[in-house]
Each structure stands twice: as structure tokens, then as C-alpha cells.
Amino acid sequence: MKTPPTRILGVLGGMGPAATTDFLLKLQAATPAGRDADHIRVLMDLNPRVPDRMAEPEAATAELGRMAERLKAMGAGVLAMPCNTAHATADGIRAAGLPFVDMIAETTAEALKDGARTVGVLATPGGEALYQAALNAAGATVLLPEGDDRPALAALIRGVKAGETGPEARAAMAALAAGLVARGAGAVIAGCTEVPLLLAAPDVAAPLADSAEVLAWACVRAIQN
């Protein structure tokens, strides 16, 4: 019988709640386990009242720092946050002094692993900026939605937060991904954790890097190492 993981994962969630619960499902699925005790112990702070990461970055940084310190005090040994945009305000999390699984870095590496040099990104403006910087630093070209596709993507992300995940929304998100592939994307990043709630790998004619799933696998590795 293998030894169960002993380190505890602290998750800073709630940005948004549906994406956080989706991440937890993916974390459970990614964990090699034959019984309950083989799974990762998780401490969750699902806080939907973190200040707006774009409009109030200093307040968001401070609140994320407080969340990280609370999770550390409760026994977390590794921290993760299933929100791409909030990684721009993650300095407060890192200040807690625990290993922090960087969703942006992990997802960028996943998108480039099979040799794609042009990558499409479906994300909020804040997430776009983070991925553009990471991908450009790796020598890749970034494609973003253009024209009417930009407000359409924003509306779909807002819709997920309001519980709108039906066939019409899924078809619209798949169309946005198809537009990026048609323009030359060799891989597509679901760079907002609401996007995978509408888009799965079979919906895209190029490899899809689901940032929530990538983070889940990276957390499993971090806990087991």
C-alpha cells in the first residue's frame, strides 16, 4: 500500500465559485488514489468577495495575502489559486512563504509542450496580459479574439458566473476557439477558469490547455514531491 500524501494543499478560491468547484473535481480526478486516504487533504478559502483584481489590485493583493496567511496557519504546505487573472495580484500569496503553484507558468508550458509557436488565448483582459507576457518570453506568438469576439467572450464569462452553461453558450465558446485556430493557432489556452466550463478538448481542432486542469495536475505533483 502506498503512503498517502502528507502535505496539505491550501486553495484560494471563489474567483469565481463555479470555476473553483470545477478545479476541485479536476484535482480529485488527477490524484492517483485507490481509497479515500490516498487523496490530497485540501483546505479551501472560497472567498467570492476578493476585491476586483483589475479595478482594485492593491486591495486584492492584500486580501489574497490574508487568505494565504490563514491557510498557512491552518496547516497548508502548498498554495494554489484557480483564477488566472488574480495571478497579477499574487504577491500577497507569495509573501506567506509557502510554495505557490503558478497557474500561468504551468499552463504556458503545457500549451508549448508539443511545439506550437502560435497560441490562441481565451481569457479576461487581465489574463490575456499575463499569458501574452509569458508566451512572448518563451518566443511564441499570441492570438487574441478580435472585433465582436472580444465582447462576446466577456459576455460568456459573465454568463458562467451567473450559471449560464447550456448548449448555446458552449457552442458560442467553441466558435471563438475555432476562430483562433482558423487564424493559425497551433494550441489554445483556456486562460480564464470559467472558459473550461463551456469548452472541452474535443470542441477544439487544436490542443487545448485547460488552465484549471493543468493547475490540478501541477498541484498533485507539488504535493507528492
Q: Which residues are catalytic?
A: 83, 192
Rounded distance, CA 204 to CA 120, Å? 11
Closest CA to 81 of 127, 36, 119: 127
13 prior amide bond cis, ω within 30? no
Beta strands across the sheet bearing 187-190: 141-143, 118-122, 187-190, 208-210
Question: Would you state the cell numbers that stand for residue 180, as one nine-digit string?
Answer: 483562433
Rounded distance, CA 73 to CA 187, Å? 40
Rounded distance, CA 75 to CA 77, Å? 6
